[in-house]
Amino acid sequence: MIDSQKLLERFLTYIKIDSQSDPNSEATPSTKKQWNIANLLKEELEKIGLQEVTIDDNAYIMATLPSNVEHEVDTIGFISHFDTSPDFKASNINPQIHENYDGGDIVLNEEQNIVLSSSYFEEMKDYKGQTIITTDGTTLLSADDKAGITEIITAMEYLVQHPEIKHGKIRVGFTPDEEIGRGAHHFDVEKFGATYAYTMDGSQIGELEYENFNAASATLKFHGTSVHPGYAKNKMVNSMYMAQRFIDVLPKDEVPEKTEGYEGFFHLSSITGNIELTELKYIIRDHDKAKFEARKQLMQDIVTKMNTSIDEANISIEVKDQYFNMKEKVEPIKYIVDIAKQAMKELNITPILKPIRGGTDGAQLSYKGLPCPNIFAGGHNFHGKYEYVPLESMVKASEVIVKIAELTAKQ
């Protein structure tokens, strides 16, 4: 149904445009270079025949595919982000195309001995015989989420070219800065005007997600007293040791590297310090709202206890909520998940319903009034040099979009 070669060419064009976001910038978009792909995408949407194509001052893009049926149909949306992760190099991407993949290791960079190992990344074997797109081992691929962008535009182009496929009004939205947690911050849900939407930002083929972590950040500051070490007895307070005592009190097994599925965690993401001041930064995650609140309270309680029971303790903590589990907003209209499941099944794709062990624009959008499950975009090993995406998965994702549009018109 979908022209895989044309989809591939589109994807390769997008990933070669550096559009990394920057968590240290307060601007929106956080980097000026995101405008390069944003302006290209606006032109692409106009070129394929969408209407009401707009780009606002923050680089949020919206467009419309008008309904081609006379009866009333829910307006639905498809959303992806065009920024790429700041975690790894994203400029001068040199993609490698591996046709008829044999199921074994893929040498990404012979000179640097960088190998994409199928024994380590075992899911690679599921794509034997397919076309695999990888990096050259020196950059990320940017399939997160330029695969999703590609799939949406390709699906919209197909629907424009095939008016015999009946559908209601469809809205398309592309956002900056998702990778730094701000993708939905300036998204105008009212202007978008959809009843519900789907983000195309999942991983392996078949993924369908409507649950994600509740998320918060915690910043702790441990204040010490610096004294010459030769004269420090009963005077020096080493803030780094105080921070270590706090770390030791938290549950040892409730960390990312020891949890999976619905299990939550405390994640120490950075430490900076000296004798006078040590700062710990944590992220707190849990799918269960009550357990999430208990995690935040536990950290507060530990700080309170240390401050009251240790004479030299001087500790402060700031906890900030980041996003919440979209399940609460999606479950009341769970038929939108069922439509996506049916679309996949009609395309011989096995739906994989699983909780997201992370966040998504869809979570924030759901709480802004736009329920928004997440559908696979096909990529694996995001945010690093081992990132790859099977071409066939991207084709299937585009076909799922088309099928959802078709099924919605039949509701």
Give me the active site residues, please.
83, 178
- In three-state form (DSSP H/G/I as H, E/B as E, the rest C), the secondary structure along 383-395 is CCCCCEEEHHHHH
Sign, CA dihedral 327-328-331-333, equals negative
Sign, CA dihedral 89-93-94-97, equals positive
Q: Residues in the chain, how many?
A: 411
To which residue do tokens 């490698």 refer?
Answer: 96
Give the separation between CA 8 and CA 159, rounded to whole angstroms: 18
Report DSSP state, residue 23: T
Report DSSP state, residue 162: -
Report DSSP state, residue 361: H
Residues 6+ apart with CB under 8 A from 22: 30, 31, 86, 180
Give the separation between CA 236 and CA 256, rounded to whole angstroms: 34
Give the separation between CA 376 and CA 364, rounded to whole angstroms: 18
Closest CA relative to residue 130, chosen from 397, 394, 402, 361: 394
Q: Which two tokens stand for residue 321?
A: 């909520």
Query: What is the Cα Rg of the chain in Å?
Result: 24
To which residue do tokens 């065009």 refer?
Answer: 82
Give the separation between CA 79 and CA 361, rounded to whole angstroms: 9
Q: Which two tokens stand for residue 383?
A: 């945010």
- Concatenating the DSSP letter of every residue in 333-348 gives GTHHHHHHHHHHHHTT
What residues pair up with 80 in beta bridges, in sequence order? 174
